[in-house]
Structure 1
Amino acid sequence: MQKWEYVTVPLLIHATKQILDNWGEDGWELVQVVPGPNTDQLVAYMKRAKA
């Protein structure tokens, strides 16, 4: 059975693509983006397969 690990990542609106690209290079897959604690921030939920 496949096992997963998860991480939450703060996203700045002006740098969202760069942040997601960096995490994607490390094998993380975006699951969901939700509003953060203030209007300039989002929170990304990401997962990747455990080794």
Structure 2
Amino acid sequence: MTKWEYSTVPLLVHATKQILDNWGQDGWELVQVVPGPNPEQLVAYLKRPKQ
């Protein structure tokens, strides 16, 4: 059975792609994006197989 680790990451609206690309290069997969504490910020939930 695959075991997962998770991370939450604040996303700035003007740099969303760059932030997600950086995490993706480290093997993280985007699960969901939800609104953050203010209108210019989002929160991404990521997962990757635990090593």
Provide the TM-score with structure 1 as the length reference: 0.99
Identity %: 82
The runs of at least 4 consecutive aligned structure 1 residues that moved more than 6 Å come to: none
Give the corresponding residue for 2:24: 24
Residue 44 of structure 1 aligns to a residue in which SS? strand
Provide the TM-score with structure 2 as the length reference: 0.99
* Per-residue deviation, residues 25-48 of structure 1 (Å, max 9, x unmatched): 000000000000000000000000
Give the corresponding residue for 2:33: 33
Residue 22 of structure 1 aligns to a residue in which SS? helix
